[in-house]
Amino acid sequence: MPGTNAPALSVSAWQVISAMTDGVVITNPRGAIIAVNDAFCAVTGYALSEVAGRNPRLLHSGKHGREFYARMWSSLLRDGGWQGEIWNRRKNGEIYPEWLTISSIKDEWGHTRCYLGVFRDITNPKLNEERLRQLAQRDPLTGLPNRRFFHERLRRALSGRAAAERIAVLFLDLDHFKDVNDRWGHAAGDSFLQAVGARLRGCVRRTDTVARWAGDEFAVLLNPVSGRRDADRVIQNILRVLRRPFTVHGRRTRTSASIGGFLFDGRTAPRRLVDKADRAMYAVKKGGGDDFRFWTPALSLRHGLHGHEVSGRPAAHVRLPEGRRLRRRFQRAAFIRQRRRGRPAWADGGGGAEVRDLRPALRGV
């Protein structure tokens, strides 16, 4: 539908433009709209009489900043055209994505006669793209990030953290979840997991990540934390929240969780963070659950919620001796290490010397 100031085009040209399923808008060199086709009106909701003489910026969605439009016009003036994805706003206020191509129409002397914009509403393809992205990154049952997305978030957290910032990785397993499935069926179990996921989301900040790992296992990324005490507060809150009764399909049930944690020390390989938190969780599980432990570089798990000490599964999968026997071997390794350095073992304050290599103490166990 050409306006009164529309460029002189043949009848056949206007017929082609009018019949196009893509939206078409034509402006004069100053940017005032002089013609649109029916597809433009159908997509935007505006009639020609409502937009004639106005600048296309009336369609701006607010999603793009000045820099975006500056680059668009720079390309248009330099190259005679621009093409790309842009978000615009319909007359009813709805924001939608479109693929837009703008061309500068020039006369035989190279002067700009008008600008031609051709666009296509890509709402449905974008929705399909978003659905595929959700399937790739989200657990379909709980809507939480999945394992793959958790690793991506962890990678970003590690690469973007400041030197003084710390992060904590938690690995959580529900206690006695199998009883819910066995007693009330898998549908009830699914509803239960959804409720657990919702509670976990409420225990963390916007900067943190809660992911469903598999089955009744969840992983949590705390980013950042000031230290062990900061992470302890979050974990104790999670345990407290999960102890509250759940209502599943009209039935009340209770649960608890076994939680293992690892506080990133700047030295551990990223791929091993979750593994170490998993090992700590395993130790809690063996101790009866409803508690938490942190994995430490010394391969010991200390200071749980109830103040007792538990040894986790060390990386070498050997069983450490306990009590006096373990202490004697550590002291012997420290003594040998200090003798090799040429100074007495008590130079570091007695039997508390740091033991970095435990292999001599473990040999023969």
End-to-end CA distance of the chain: 89
- The pLDDT tens digits for 25-68 are 999 999 999 999 999 999 999 999 999 999 999 999 999 998 99
Residue position matching structure tokens 């166990």? 365
* Cβ(90)–Cβ(60) below 8 Å: no
Tokens of 123: 């709402």
Q: Quickly count: other Cβ atoms within 10 Å of residue 362's Cβ.
A: 18
pLDDT of residue 322: 45
Alpha-carbon 167 to chain mean position: 15
Mean pLDDT of 328-340: 57
Please give the DSSP secondary-structure letter assigned to residue 60.
Answer: B
Model pTM score:
0.52
Question: For residue 128, what are the contacts with CB-CB under 8 A and spacing of at least 6?
Answer: none
All domains of the chain in start order, with CATH:
11-127 (3.30.450.20), 144-316 (3.30.70.270), 318-365 (no CATH)
Among the residue ranges 79-83, 173-177, 264-268, 322-326, the one predicted with the least confidence is 322-326
Rg of the chain (C-alpha set): 32
* Cβ(172)–Cβ(236) below 8 Å: no
Q: How far apart, in whole angstroms, are the C-alpha atoms of residue 265 and residue 227?
A: 10
Please give the DSSP secondary-structure letter assigned to residue 347.
Answer: G
The closest of 326, 337, 335, 334 to 362, measured between CA atoms, is: 326
- Using a 10 angstrom Cβ sphere, with 0-12 exposed, 13-18 middle and 19 or more buried, the burial of residue 112 is middle
Mean pLDDT of 185-208: 93
- Using a 10 angstrom Cβ sphere, with 0-12 exposed, 13-18 middle and 19 or more buried, the burial of residue 347 is exposed
- The pLDDT tens digits for 76-102 are 999 999 999 999 999 999 999 999 999
Q: Quickly count: other Cβ atoms within 10 Å of residue 271's Cβ.
A: 10
Q: How far apart, in whole angstroms, are the C-alpha atoms of residue 267 and residue 68?
A: 41
| Beta bridge partner(s), residue 25 | 36, 117
pLDDT of residue 341: 56
The closest of 131, 138, 170, 172 to 154, measured between CA atoms, is: 170
Mean pLDDT of 263-288: 85
Alpha-carbon 281 to chain mean position: 23
Q: How far apart, in whole angstroms, are the C-alpha atoms of residue 235 and residue 224?
A: 14
Most confident listed range (126-130, 164-168, 176-180): 176-180
